[in-house]
Structure 1
Amino acid sequence: MTTRFNPAAWARLFTPTRRQFLQTASAAAATALVMPAGARKANAFAYEPYPRDDDLETVVTSCAHNCGSRHMLVAHKKGDVIVRLSTDNGTYQGDAYGTDTEEKPQLRACLRGRSYRSRLYSPERLLYPMKRVGKRGEGKFKRVSWDQALTEIAERMVYLRDKYGPQALLDQSYAGASYGVLHKSDQIEGLLGRFLGMFGCRTSSWSVPSYQGTTFSSRMTFGTIEDGNEDDAYAHSKLIIMWGWNPAYTFHGGNTFYYMRMAKQRGCKFVLIDPQYTDSAAAYDAWWIPIRPNTDAAMMAGMAYHIWDNGWHDQGFIDRFVQGMDPGTTPNWAYQRGHESFKEYILGTNDGVPKTPEWAAEICGVKADDIRKLAEMYATTKPAALKASWAPGRNAYGEQYNRMAAALQAMTGNIGILGGCAEGVGKAWHSEAVAYPYDQYANVWYASIKSDRWAHIVLNYPNVTRQEAGLWPRSDQFDGVVPNIRGIFWQGSDWFNQLTNINKEIAAIRKLDEQGEGESLLVCSDSTITPTGIWADYLLPIATHFERHDVALPWYKGHYYIHRPKVIEPLGESKTDFQVYTELAWRLGFGPAYNPKAARDYFDNPDATDEAYLVDWWHKVQEHQHVEWSWEEFKKRGVYKFILSQPHVAFRAQIEQGLPFQTPSGKIEILSSQLAQIDDWSRTQYGYEIPAIPKWIEPWESLNHPLTATYPFHLISPHPRWRTHSIFNNIPWLRETFSQETTMNAADAKRMGIKHGDIVELWNDRGRVVTPVYVTERCMPGVLVLHEGAWMDLDKDGVDRAGNPDFLTKDDPSPAGAFAYNTVLCNIRKTDLHHRPGWDQLATARSHVFRRDQ
């Protein structure tokens, strides 16, 4: 058997470790001390000189990870090896070097994108199909052929479908690092979902971990998730409220920081509402308002009260464009069904509890005077952007925070105007549809559950209610039928590492094993060995975006396309997801229907077929979006940046031209027509009642809860700058720069005898994790911060030594689907347990060098 050249293995063989380098250097120094006089100096060079730019081929491509943006990468390669990566310098659309304008800014990659070469040639790179030979989760696999892996998978799929029904296989695909025109992995229009739907056996998931509460709010309020401005609109704001938003770490457009800086230079004021003082607050000199986690809706209600109390609301805007804001805009049918307007709730007309700033202050821990001050700033500064980020919506009843934010945006008239903001989800400029024929079996499923309830279903089947499962209603015999899950496909996702309550997931996986040999199937398709893959039966090596042909789409914002050619041939025996599912479809009898343009040899020769799909897509772009470049010109240039006639502002047409909103009433629905008319909540995917207007609902864990007697700290797990969820966790460069550590308030640490750099244990009744501690004044008392996405690393007692916060999170269903990642109480103490910074033991975090012990 012939094994193809592996540049990663070659690099590891000839690249010394840090220890080897130091040992060699010490030996050389010692030798120099005893070298005889007159000895000739060696002229040999141990390694081939680093290639110069003139020796390299330059190829424009992009990053591909699910970070909230999509930037240009420029691959510099020698032969079939990428030597280094750079990024946009202004020249690739025919402009001069350094061109970077408000109209056409550069699409410069961040730290994560620039480190992608380390991921491509990572020691964890998966190069061959692997089959599990050890116990589940033990990490023991053997190499097998593609034929054996796909034959066994196909046979098991047929067996499980025929024995356990069309709900037996769970689709856990997600956006991961596979987001493009052709190679796409998500639950709605992705490759795996279409494959399992056509196979006739698929349980899907309807809730998105990042922003399901926000999605619910946007759809109920505006009728669409396309409620975002393009980021150039921020440059025209006079006030930007970053509510739970840290754009220095998480930006949702190609050039967020560019336009935020421009706003600052033009005199815009910034406010941050967040439990921690972030880098964004420092960068923009923002007024920091610390807030207790999961209490944001209460603070917003207090702001609404103060705005009404002073008559700062925009009554003309409310009367024209809003339903349910006050009695005058609330339809009679809603009153007849026992509902009230938002203003009546805020004033306490019916419940006798006015939602004053003082009322809110008791809940959220923000001074009433600060609530009043912020309310006045927002209501009297025009235009003002209240950017309600996703993070506070990742809480129990998180949708109420987003709906409350929409109410504030509407009552101040800051929707549909340049410099204002209606953002919940924030999807903005609309890119062209995908090339693949997704109209057939695009999203066929036989059960759709709330994503993080799969483990609960497996552990408790068949004694599971539709409310517990979060079952989406159907109009056939499968309505209300809880799936008997026997198999899981992971594609473009590391969900086993990323969903809530990991210990519950581990118990569920082990229960699947108890069903008997051959009665379950776990398949992980990825380019690297991940924590999820460790628990799989089969590991399928997937080509990275450098090793397949595609076009990069902007991610929710950004008006551009980036050509993504096959820069190098796939390493090892890697194949694309499209190749894998096409081949499986042929073996299962529906190959031509699944991939109509492909011949039977697509598994070995995909290039011409992929090109044909992309050419068809480009023709749609030319027709619908009036692009004059030919496909060949686009491939040559590498990037096409649209120049808009004016900044894209969500709902500008509704406000300026009177077009209706996409809601039942045609207005902004602060009182939701859909929610207000539901009679039987048990027959909805929500399962439990959701108020028709935004309200403050007490979460199941918070600093106001009696449970603080046992677990006195509220843990939040924001997105890190140095990972995209769990992607890039195995990159030594990034781990050397940023530590996985628990951030703790200095006063709390002093009281508990904890010093900066100590190893601490965080625990509750769901799990235990170990990390170093970072002591600072930049986090409010009573709150701990531990960034999500660390690759789990369990010791013999089940303690996670890597510091993954999802061992502490709870998987209880929040009705609208919000994931309660940030609704966590826990305790903390110094520990003698061992912390491991990552699977690569050579990488050590050095950020502590630049910090002073507290």
Structure 2
Amino acid sequence: MSHLPPEEKLIPTSCVHNCSGRCFLHAHVKDGKLIRLSPGEEGPDSPDCPQTRACLRGLAQRHWLDHPDRLQYPLKRVGKRGEGHFQRISWDEAITAIAAEMTRIKEAYGNAAMYLNYGTGVYGQISQSWIDDSSRGALPRFFNLFGGFLGYYNTYSAACYSAAAPYTFGEVEGQSPDDLLNAGLIVLFADNPAETRMGGANIPHYLSLAKERGAKIIVIDPRHSDTAASLADKWIPVKPTTDNALMAALAYVLISEELVDQAFLDQYCLGFDEAHMPPGIPAGQSYKSYIMGLGEDKIAKSPAWAEAVTGVPREDIVSLAREIGLTKPCALVQGLGWQRHAYGEQAVRALPVLAAMTGNIGREGGGPGLRPGGHKMPMGWMPAGTNPVKARISCFTWTDAIRRGQEMTAADGVKGAKRLPANIKMIWNYASNTLINQHADINATAKLLADERQCEFIVLHDLFMTPSAKFADIVLPDVSHFEREDIVTFSAGIAYAIYHRKVREPMYECRSVYDVCSALAGKLGFAEAYTGGKTEQDWLRECVREAQRQDAEFPDFEEFRRIGIYKKKPARPIIAYERQIRDVSANPFATPSGRIEIFSPRLWEMNNPLIPAIPKYLPAWEGPDDQLAERFPLQCIGYHSKRRVHSTFDNLAVLEEAVPQEIWLNPGDAGARGLQSGEKARVFNDRGEVVIPVKVTPRVRPGVVAIPQGAWWQPDTRGIDHRGNINTLTKYQPTPLAFGNPQHTNLVEVVKWEGDAE
């Protein structure tokens, strides 16, 4: 940067947040202080290898780093849990107290009573807060050496997707987004990448290029999202929880008008029609029988039927079906919004059926009806070893594991053991606001955590006194990623790795998770086993060596650290299941039958009407036809605001100016309640109440209200939240198959707010 003042220096850095961006940034540092962030210089921009441009959140991180509310030193709770009263303690006191409580709980209940709570506030090869099945990084390494911990599977974001899609395809592959340029028609179901994935070499880039090349884009969503506003040729607003009824009607039109690729279905699929069912299944159980009214319910899933369920006019359903059936190739893409519903597993499995019916699987410009995949970037990790505790729970069910852990079995989603050996008695919550803010039914969760007889000890390690931090017994001040070093990777239309260097020394008494775990390992007597005599940078050198073993072009450590980014331009897009479609006998699908299982024998054997063997429309609890709608007539959905990454950055005023926290109401619903934009409203149901400003807009369908998720819960003395946290209203009821998060399934009422906060 030739115009850079001589007293400034540039340091390569990145974002580490759960927005799927991982953008390359340059930190401008003067006299040891970060003065601004700018997009990193990474060479020329081209359609097939775009620059990783940061969004408003990434560029606003300076305000986050220097926020006056940063945690500065360790704290110990005084008073009752949740009241938010703490006193300052030294690091030695904090480490001693944590080590003593961990030892006590291990001796009294065993390691399975210790839980590392789900969180995605930090990504990186050492400091990652999300723990996947491979159990890697600084925190799980420490707990594994201590004897293990109760693990989790799934995510709050994609539990139903991860659980359901393998029943159709076996191993789940997504078409890479650079292949969207080959599509003639792109239909996005519950997908809003223009707000959720703004930065980086991400999906909106490829959607824009596809549109420039002539592709038509249709968005199906209850809300006229920024994706619909900026990219779509057509928006189809559907009632939440009814997407399966819409897809069933689309299938009905495709069958009725002979727009089905029967040869594809015959060759590659199990269970589409009665002639291709597994042996021993009674007649009438195929997908076609269900659609045409020849199955058990005897209801033809016609456009007229679907109109009454979904609110989508029948003529729009017919038109959409014809476009999907006649446009070749057609990319049917699903987001994650619709699977965070009461029966979210059904939508995940239904869209691939439409992709199969139209013969779009395994071909350029088409796809399997799943989420986009990505080109992979090889990278090593700080190894964590093996967790001696084999039991795992769905990450959404941890509150159940506090209440009745020893009663939980496979019927409650327990894996790796017949039942849990202990209730959760200790929680370590790192870089996560899921302890309170992001979990369902905040009021019930707060009541549970306030009872110290249930979960006896909670440690929280974070940057700020979040709503979750107020329920901790010990609060530890974390460093930001600008105050340590790590590596993050990205996989989408291109793949890249970013080395973020330390921009400045840690503020106050803040310490990294590796530093904290090293100190605790020393207190507990296994420091050498934990660190191996290595610094964080030593571990990162090993990560790069592993990347070089997998990719001969990957630069050496010093070069990678100096430049800050390594990008890999793909030779061609990833075409999901291309091998199987080319020769399915030589490359069968990873299902028991070796075929695309529209009918799943494994699900059939479960004999659970809420987990049908073919994807069906199941009317949802707290859906539009629930009797509860007489009291709470509006469907309330959460959406991801572009001003936050989940709850990260909610405390930044500069982003609040860009996108305020508001509830969206359709003009008809607002008028019936005497509400105008800018006024405050009460939003309530039997679980709780929030007060939030109103935005009256036709960009949300009638009967639906939308609240941006992630706002920091701020209850007054009556328990009324004055920030607009949707989880004050959401229900804790895990989904049937995935035991996942249904937090978009809520009925509420909205009225004008007449009072003031206490």
Do the structures match in fold with TM over 0.5? yes
| Alignment-derived partner of residue 508 in structure 2 | 572
> Within the alignment, does 1:131 sit opposite 2:66 as a pair?
no
Q: 2: CA distance between counterparts of 1:444 and 1:734? A: 44
| Alignment-derived partner of residue 508 in structure 1 | 448
Counterpart selection for 1:454 from 373, 379, 398 = 398
Cα–Cα, structure 1 residues 764 and 789, in superposed 2: closer, same or farther, change >3 Å? same
| Alignment-derived partner of residue 570 in structure 2 | 644
Q: 1: CA distance between counterparts of 2:421 and 2:371? A: 30
Counterpart selection for 2:218 from 271, 277, 280 = 271
> Within the alignment, does 1:214 sit opposite 2:161 as a pair?
yes
**Amino acid paired to 2:510:** S
| Alignment-derived partner of residue 780 in structure 1 | 701
Structure 1 residue 820: deviation in Å? 1.1
> Within the alignment, does 1:179 sit opposite 2:123 as a pair?
yes
**Amino acid paired to 2:437:** N
Counterpart selection for 1:491 from 400, 414, 430 = 430
Cα–Cα, structure 1 residues 409 and 552, in superposed 2: closer, same or farther, change >3 Å? same
> Within the alignment, does 1:670 sit opposite 2:598 as a pair?
yes
Which SS does the other structure have where 1:560 is aligned? strand
| Alignment-derived partner of residue 748 in structure 1 | 669
Within 5 Å, which residues of 2 pair with 1:648-663? 648-656=574-582, 658=584, 659-663=587-591
Within 5 Å, which residues of 2 pair with 1:146-225? 146-176=91-121, 178-188=122-132, 189-190=135-136, 191-200=138-147, 202-225=149-172
Which SS does the other structure have where 2:448 is aligned? helix
Structure 1 residue 465: deviation in Å? 5.2
Larger radius of gyration: 1
Cα–Cα, structure 1 residues 613 and 740, in superposed 2: closer, same or farther, change >3 Å? same
Counterpart selection for 1:474 from 404, 410, 416 = 416
Q: 1: CA distance between counterparts of 2:176 and 2:376? A: 10
> Within the alignment, does 1:109 sit opposite 2:45 as a pair?
no
Q: 1: CA distance between counterparts of 2:31 and 2:275? A: 70
Q: 1: CA distance between counterparts of 2:285 and 2:196? A: 37
> Within the alignment, does 1:69 sit opposite 2:21 as a pair?
yes
Cα–Cα, structure 1 residues 809 and 474, in superposed 2: closer, same or farther, change >3 Å? same
Counterpart selection for 2:616 from 679, 682, 695 = 695
**Does the 8 Å CA contact 2:377/2:491 hold for their aligned counterparts?**
no
> Within the alignment, does 1:629 sit opposite 2:629 as a pair?
no
RMSD: 2.3
Q: 2: CA distance between counterparts of 1:136 and 1:206? A: 28
Q: Could you report, residue by residue, the CA deviation over 1:225-277 in whole angstroms, capped at 9, with x for unpaired residues?
A: 4x223221122221111211122101286332221111111111111111121
Structure 1 residue 818: deviation in Å? 3.1
Cα–Cα, structure 1 residues 637 and 813, in superposed 2: closer, same or farther, change >3 Å? same
Q: 1: CA distance between counterparts of 2:337 and 2:494? A: 21
**Does the 8 Å CA contact 1:326/1:341 hold for their aligned counterparts?**
yes
| Alignment-derived partner of residue 477 in structure 2 | 541
Paired residues in the alignment total 747
Within 5 Å, which residues of 2 pair with 1:7-406? 53-89=5-41, 92=42, 95=43, 99-176=44-121, 178-188=122-132, 189-190=135-136, 191-200=138-147, 202-225=149-172, 227-251=173-197, 254-333=201-280, 335=281, 340-351=285-296, 352-406=298-352
**Does the 8 Å CA contact 1:211/1:393 hold for their aligned counterparts?**
yes
User: Mind listing any 5+ residue stretches in structure 2 that lack a counterpart?
Assistant: none
| Alignment-derived partner of residue 820 in structure 1 | 742
Q: 2: CA distance between counterparts of 1:380 and 1:561? A: 40
Q: 2: CA distance between counterparts of 1:610 and 1:60? A: 17
Structure 1 residue 296: deviation in Å? 0.4
Which SS does the other structure have where 2:197 is aligned? coil
**Does the 8 Å CA contact 2:354/2:369 hold for their aligned counterparts?**
no
**Amino acid paired to 1:497:** N
Q: 2: CA distance between counterparts of 1:260 and 1:164? A: 52
Q: 2: CA distance between counterparts of 1:259 and 1:382? A: 18
Which SS does the other structure have where 2:229 is aligned? helix
Cα–Cα, structure 1 residues 239 and 54, in superposed 2: closer, same or farther, change >3 Å? farther
**Does the 8 Å CA contact 2:190/2:338 hold for their aligned counterparts?**
yes
**Amino acid paired to 1:831:** W
**Does the 8 Å CA contact 1:302/1:360 hold for their aligned counterparts?**
yes
Q: 1: CA distance between counterparts of 2:112 and 2:165? A: 30
**Does the 8 Å CA contact 1:459/1:507 hold for their aligned counterparts?**
no
**Amino acid paired to 1:87:** P
Cα–Cα, structure 1 residues 591 and 221, in superposed 2: closer, same or farther, change >3 Å? farther
Q: 2: CA distance between counterparts of 1:159 and 1:656? A: 59
**Does the 8 Å CA contact 2:202/2:493 hold for their aligned counterparts?**
no
Q: 2: CA distance between counterparts of 1:831 and 1:541? A: 37
**Does the 8 Å CA contact 1:80/1:568 hold for their aligned counterparts?**
yes
Structure 1 residue 657: deviation in Å? 5.2
Cα–Cα, structure 1 residues 113 and 240, in superposed 2: closer, same or farther, change >3 Å? same
Q: Identity over aligned residues, as a percent?
A: 35
Q: Could you report, residue by residue, the CA deviation over 1:135-170 in whole angstroms, capped at 9, with x for unpaired residues?
A: 322222222222110111011011112112333222
Q: Could you report, residue by residue, the CA deviation over 1:597-628 in whole angstroms, capped at 9, with x for unpaired residues?
A: 53xxxxxxxxxx22222222222222222325
Structure 1 residue 331: deviation in Å? 2.1
Structure 1 residue 560: deviation in Å? 0.9
My pick for the range that moved more, 665-674 or 636-645, is: 665-674
Structure 1 residue 661: deviation in Å? 2.4
Structure 1 residue 210: deviation in Å? 0.8
| Alignment-derived partner of residue 766 in structure 1 | 687
Q: 2: CA distance between counterparts of 1:541 and 1:555? A: 31
**Amino acid paired to 2:706:** V
Counterpart selection for 1:801 from 722, 729, 732 = 722
Which SS does the other structure have where 1:563 is aligned? strand
Which SS does the other structure have where 2:464 is aligned? coil
Q: 2: CA distance between counterparts of 1:491 and 1:532? A: 11
My pick for the range that moved more, 736-745 or 164-173, is: 164-173
Q: Could you report, residue by residue, the CA deviation over 1:342-366 in whole angstroms, capped at 9, with x for unpaired residues?
A: 2222222222122222222211111
Q: Could you report, residue by residue, the CA deviation over 1:508-536 in whole angstroms, capped at 9, with x for unpaired residues?
A: 0122x256xxx811111112221111111
Which SS does the other structure have where 1:59 is aligned? strand
Structure 1 residue 828: deviation in Å? 0.7
Q: 2: CA distance between counterparts of 1:694 and 1:111? A: 39
Cα–Cα, structure 1 residues 597 and 82, in superposed 2: closer, same or farther, change >3 Å? same
Structure 1 residue 666: deviation in Å? 2.5
Structure 1 residue 668: deviation in Å? 2.1
**Amino acid paired to 2:593:** S
User: Mind listing any 5+ residue stretches in structure 1 that lack a counterpart?
Assistant: 1-50, 599-608, 682-687, 837-854
Structure 1 residue 423: deviation in Å? 5.0
**Amino acid paired to 2:613:** A
**Does the 8 Å CA contact 1:173/1:192 hold for their aligned counterparts?**
no
**Amino acid paired to 1:501:** D
Cα–Cα, structure 1 residues 88 and 652, in superposed 2: closer, same or farther, change >3 Å? farther
Question: When the two structures are superposed, what TM-score results if normalisation uses the length of structure 2?
Answer: 0.94
Q: Could you report, residue by residue, the CA deviation over 1:693-732 in whole angstroms, capped at 9, with x for unpaired residues?
A: 2111111111111111100000000111100110000111
